[in-house]
């Protein structure tokens, strides 16, 4: 499978806790006013990369966990599900994913929800410029939630997180 990739940033510390390999995908229809990455809205931006090639990049960095962002990975959900499944099968890395959809919108869609079992953390919801808060960690407005999808967050809890019962 292939993913339309805008950029890959290795060993970033801005896209989740610790070192991360951030995969920025192309394509987003949310068009949030004040988006920090509006060039990612274009579904034709960037280049196609195979999930095999992306997996090799992820596996080559022993230090970094993984972030899916963009754009919105849920617009390429089948390919991101394949990549996330393989990351989980072949590594011990955690996966954080940013989306403009809410968790409830994702759960209401069989197509979108196929990615959830492979994610550790979902940062959900659209950025709302009028609610912008630069003091928030890993999100731009307080409507966005940092959701630990498989139970309690680690002891070094990040303010503003939500823990769910493990997904089944």
pLDDT in tens, 20-56: 999 999 999 998 898 888 899 999 999 999 999 999 9
Per-residue pLDDT, 162: 61
* pLDDT band per the 50, 70, 90 thresholds, residue 59: very high
Averaged pLDDT for residues 110-134: 96
- 2-163 domain in CATH 3.20.20.70? yes
Per-residue pLDDT, 68: 98
List the domain boundaries for the chain.
Answer: 2-163
Q: Which token pair is 164?
A: 């769910």
Place of tokens 């060993």: 11
Per-residue pLDDT, 31: 85
Q: What is the pTM of this model?
A: 0.90
Comparing C-alpha atoms, which of 167, 162, 125, 161 is closest to residue 143?
A: 125
Which residues are CB-neighbours of 163 under 8 A, at least 6 positions away? Answer: 147, 148, 151, 152, 153
Say whether pLDDT at 160 is over 80: no
Per-residue pLDDT, 78: 98
pLDDT in tens, 89-115: 999 999 999 999 999 999 999 999 999
Gap between the Cα atoms of 94 and 43, Å rounded: 26
Q: Which token pair is 19?
A: 């070192």
Per-residue pLDDT, 159: 57
Comparing C-alpha atoms, which of 128, 70, 75 is closest to residue 97?
A: 70
* pLDDT band per the 50, 70, 90 thresholds, residue 120: very high
Q: Are strands 65-69 and 95-98 parallel, antiparallel or unpaired?
A: parallel
In order, the DSSP letters of 46-71 are SEEEEHHHHHHHHHH-SS-EEEEESS
Say whether pLDDT at 157 is over 60: no
Looking at the chain, the whole-number percentage of residues with pLDDT higher than 70 is 89
Say whether pLDDT at 6 is over 90: yes
Per-residue pLDDT, 38: 87
């Amino acid at each position: 499978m292939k993913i339309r990739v805008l950029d890959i940033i290795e060993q970033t510390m801005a896209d989740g806790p610790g070192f991360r390999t951030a995969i920025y995908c192309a394509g987003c229809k949310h068009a949030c006013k004040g988006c920090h990455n509006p060039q990612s809205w274009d579904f034709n931006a960037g280049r196609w990369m195979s999930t095999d090639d992306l997996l090799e990049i992820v596996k080559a960095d022993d230090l970094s966990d993984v972030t899916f962002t963009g754009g919105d990975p849920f617009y390429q959900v089948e390919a991101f599900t394949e990549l996330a499944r393989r990351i989980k099968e072949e590594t011990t890395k955690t996966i954080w994913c940013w989306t403009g959809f809410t968790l409830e919108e994702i759960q209401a869609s069989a197509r979108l929800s196929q990615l959830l079992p492979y994610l550790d953390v979902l940062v959900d919801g659209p950025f709302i410029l009028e609610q912008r808060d630069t003091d928030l960690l890993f999100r731009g407005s307080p409507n966005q939630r940092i959701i630990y999808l498989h139970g309690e967050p680690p002891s070094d809890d990040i303010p503003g997180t939500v823990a769910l019962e493990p997904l089944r």
